Amino acid sequence: MSYQEIIPIEPDKRGGKPCIRRMRITVYDVLGWLAAGMSTEEIIDDFPELTATDIRVCLEFAADREHCLVVSVHAA
């Protein structure tokens, strides 16, 4: 399963930010919690609608986005 199936971008939700499974939780929310030191288990305890797969997919999304950014900069 690719992250595109789990993380749609809907222009009318959360200002077009990528949200997880059509919820109002954004990829950036999850990445911020991880960056703050929360574990996957702590995030799921606080937000039981999320799964470990959702969190892993957020990391995959961020890695792919970073790769695309680097490619764009080098192409210019």
- 4-22 pLDDT, tens digit each: 778 877 788 888 889 998 8
Q: How many domains does the structure of the chain reveal?
A: 1
Segment 37-66 shows an average pLDDT of 93
Residue 47: Cβ within 10 Å count:
17
Range of the domain at 47: 3-75
Give yes or no for a contact between 61 and 6, defined as CB atoms under 8 angstroms apart.
no
pLDDT top residue among 72 and 44: 44
Task: Give the CA dihedral 37, 56, 58, 20, nearest 10 degrees.
Answer: -110
Give yes or no for a contact between 34 and 23, defined as CB atoms under 8 angstroms apart.
no
Segment 35-48 shows an average pLDDT of 98
Report the CATH number that the domain containing residue 56 is assigned in CATH.
1.10.10.10
Residue 49: Cβ within 10 Å count:
10
Segment 24-35 shows an average pLDDT of 96
Segment 39-45 shows an average pLDDT of 98
3-state SS assignment for residue 13 = coil
